[in-house]
Each structure stands twice: as structure tokens, then as C-alpha cells.
Amino acid sequence: MAAVSALIKRIERLSHELLDEETWEHTQRVRKRALLFAASEHLSEDQKQVLEIAALLHDICVANGIPDHGQEGAEQARRILINLDLPTDVINRVCHCIETHNEFAKTRPQTPEAKILSDADAFEFVGPLGIVRIALGSKRSESDSARSVKDRILITGKKRAEQLYTEAGKKAFNSWWEREKQFFDDFEHQLAE
């Protein structure tokens, strides 16, 4: 167990070095949420370790600006994990989690760990945090309005809600999603006044 803990700490330090501060904070939230969901989904210790490693490395290529950063991230994670002498089976499972963690992935998550990571990442796009993240990440143009940004937020949230896999993820996401929809009903009411 001490060896696993030391390995996780090493991967954590490496991830922190590779990521900008905003992405690192996102990674920490996804990691925390993924481990919380894992407890509800009754994962084994081995599965939790795969999940935690994948959560720490899931966005290592996000700065490259490609929507499906999961594929490139999985390739980079594979090189990192090979250098750390992890077993091939563990590397493959971690890489599957990373390459399927977002809505742009060409394939859907197949393992419990990959489904949990996808749900934990999706949670970042709902509620007050999601509203801010999507609004800040939206492409801005002269024709953008508050209403068009709101529409992008709702479309993104709806799309992510349709791609949830675990009961824990669905429950947590839907709780915030209902509040978010109420917020935007209030938003429309204020615009109409």
C-alpha cells in the first residue's frame, strides 16, 4: 500500500508540473469527485487506483487546444506510465479512462473506472462552476449576447447530462442541473422586465 501511495504522489507531482493552475484545480476537483463516485459504485482498491491515476492525468493534453484531447492525453499518459514501470494491464486501463473521458471521444467508456471519470469530468459543466467555465470558454464575437451564452451553457449541460453512466454521477449532476435550469428561468424573467 505504501508503494501505491508513493506512486500516486509521484504522478500527482508530475501532473501538477504539466498543467496550468486552472487545469490543475479542475484536475483536483475531478479526482475528488471521481473517488467520491467510486465509493458509491463499490469499486475494488485496484479499480480505485486506476481511477485516481487516470483522474490525475486525464487533462495533460488539454492545453493543446484540440477538443478530443483525451486521445492525445492517453498517448502521453502511456509514455509516462511506461517510464514509471506500471504493468501493461494498468496502463491500458488508465489510458482507456483518459481517451473516453469527454464528449468528444470517438468511443464510449466501457469500464466502471472510465464511466466514473467521464461522469466526474461532466460534473464540471453544471451548476455555478459550470456556468462560469462554459461562459469563459465560449468563443466571443460581436454578435454574442447574454442569451446566446446562456443557450450554449444549456446545450452543453443537456449534452453532458445525456452522457452520464453511473447512478452517483446522474444523481449529483441532476441535482445541480435542476438548480441551473431554475437560474436560467430567473435569467429570462429578468431579461423580460
139 has a pLDDT exceeding 70: no
pLDDT in tens, 12-70: 999 999 888 888 999 999 999 999 999 999 899 999 999 999 999 999 987 666 666 88
Whole-angstrom distance, CA of residue 3 vs CA of residue 25: 25
Domains and CATH numbers, the chain: 2-192 (1.10.3210.10)
The secondary structure of 88-123 as a DSSP string is HHHHHHHHHHHHTSSTT-SS---SHHHHHHHHHHHG
**How much is the pTM?**
0.86
Name the grid cell of 130: 459550470
Predicted confidence at residue 144, as pLDDT, reads 64
Predicted confidence at residue 14, as pLDDT, reads 93
Task: Tell me if 56 sits within 8 A of 73, measured CB to CB.
Answer: no
Whole-angstrom distance, CA of residue 94 vs CA of residue 104: 18
Confidence of residue 1 (pLDDT cuts 50, 70, 90): low
pLDDT in tens, 140-161: 555 667 777 788 888 888 888 8
* Angle ∠(166,170,171) on CA atoms, nearest 5: 115
